[in-house]
Amino acid sequence: MSVVTRFAPSPTGFLHIGGGRTALFNWLFAKRHGGKMLLRIEDTDRERSTDAAIEAILDGLKWLGLDWDGDVVYQFSRAARHREVAETLLAQGRAYYCYATQQELEEMREAARKEGRPSRYDGRWRDRDPSEAPEGVKPVIRLKAPTEGETVVEDEVQGRVVWQNKDLDDLVLLRSDGTPTYMLAVVVDDHDMGVTHVIRGDDHLTNAARQTQIYQAMGWDVPKMAHIPLIHGPDGAKLSKRHGALGVEAYRSMGYLPVALRNYLVRLGWSHGDQEIFSTEEMIQAFDLKNIGRSPARFDFAKLENLNGHYMRLSDDDTLLRAIEAILPEIGAERGLASTFSPELRQKLLAAMPGLKERAKNLVELVDSAYYLYAQRPLKLDEKATGLLADGRARLAGIVEKLETVAEWNSQSVEAVVREHADAIGVKLGHVAQPLRAALTGRATSPGLFDVMTVLGKDETLSRLQDQLSGAPAA
């Protein structure tokens, strides 16, 4: 049997990080077994589904590098087929018309509340003939679920989960306006799409019991199920925005690389010994359902940052530059940058990239640390740099004149001059280099100082020093 998984988001919001992980697990499992991952947009909630959300989900998946097989299936477009299955169940006596009014249902809920038990439909139309139907009530179609025995889900992650059928009421398949319920639509679609493995969040575990009853009523095979524990925040509470429950596109804008996010997500709830770093190929080879943990994974931003730093250092310079250019329209303006780099700045960034990528944990940080390459004179020093320069300004006295004498401007020649200067005034190199860096880059950290001076060139270096050393500081 060849494996078919599916990712089935509801387009009521962006692709959030938990959805990204569900998609990744489905994708990996399909790849691992040479199968397919299908994509189904569950847009049956017409009020809450939006085109913008569909767009964001597709973009998010593409950006994460998670491709799907075949065309996207839109659940709403299959409503006629869902209705047909409800009619079939009706014809087979596995479902029935229920004419209970809103008021009757409310009374059942109220009675349950009073007795402190969960509310369930009491089955009053199960065996009643529709000829007894009251005037003017449009019926719903309900599943005639078994009232005795158990419904069992043999879950690949949760193990054997058992429900007593007496606790599960007859669920609605078709609403009185003829629209299918979510429960029916999911089962019919998964069946028709040939899904063999349903991998999703464990908030759907109870639905799995309900859905199993529909499969059984239709005499269809129940797919294998794997319900993954949800992601929690570092404090153990359910993941919220405050913890990083953001849309995948927010991670892109924050400067994370898809390869890093994939690696981070695969370890959220799944493990393979102690291994933390996985190339995509390695995760495909190693992925399985049995090593998905049963307790909620905790979201850890610091770990994501470290992984991202790791993958940035591994990325080639051009790839990084392009990843920056992709988010530049979003992050450029507040840094005084246009939405594209000029060819000259591009050149400078590429030249400086080996040093820049060593330090940065994300692309935004990298762009900030490259400030010296695109800063307009006089530079605006940040707080730390202002402090360093204030402290070290006196140690730079006379250095401009010495640098002016350098004929061949390169990192060796400037280093020689700066070292001589430090020797001459009897301080360590760092005591000169720090204020110098502050004046030239506006920051307390930067790639190697002599490389910075080389990339800036002699004129720009001297002008920046003059800006900061003569007269009032610009910051």
In the complex, the residues that contact ligand GLU under the rule CB under 6 A are 8-10, 42, 186, 200, 204
Nearer to ligand GLU, 223 or 244 (CB): 223
The one-letter code for the residue type at 200 is: R
Long-range contact set of residues 335-339: C-beta below 8 Å, sequence gap at least 24: 335/367, 335/368, 335/371, 335/374, 336/374, 336/376, 337/367, 337/374
Q: How far is the CB of 204 from ligand GLU (least distance, A)?
A: 5
Core vs surface per residue 301-330: b (16+ CB within 10 A) or e: eeebbebbbbbbeebeeeebbebbbebbee
Q: Which of 62, 138, 144, 241 is catalytic?
A: 241
Min. distance of Cβ 44 from ligand GLU in angstroms? 9
**Of 98 and 186, CB closest to ligand GLU:** 186
Name, in order, each residue with C-beta under 8 angstroms of 189's C-beta and a sequence gap of 6 or more: 8, 40, 73, 75, 78, 195
Task: Look up 348 and say whether it is catalytic.
Answer: no
Shortest distance, position 57 Cβ to ligand GLU, whole Å: 10
CB closer to ligand GLU out of 189 and 415? 189
What letter does residue 95 receive in the DSSP assignment? E
Q: Give 14's DSSP letter.
A: -
Measured distance CA(41)–CA(77) in Å, rounded: 10
Q: How far is the CB of 85 from ligand GLU (least distance, A)?
A: 16
Q: Give the whole-angstrom CA distance, residue 240 versus residue 220.
A: 38
Shorter beta-carbon distance to ligand GLU: residue 8 or 331:
8
Strand 224-228 with 159-164, pairing: unpaired
Closest distance to ligand GLU from the beta carbon of 42 (Å): 4
Query: By C-alpha distance, which of 264, 213, 240, 438 is closest to 256?
Result: 264
Q: Which is nearer to ligand GLU, 182 or 409 (CB)?
A: 182
Residues labelled as active-site residues = 241
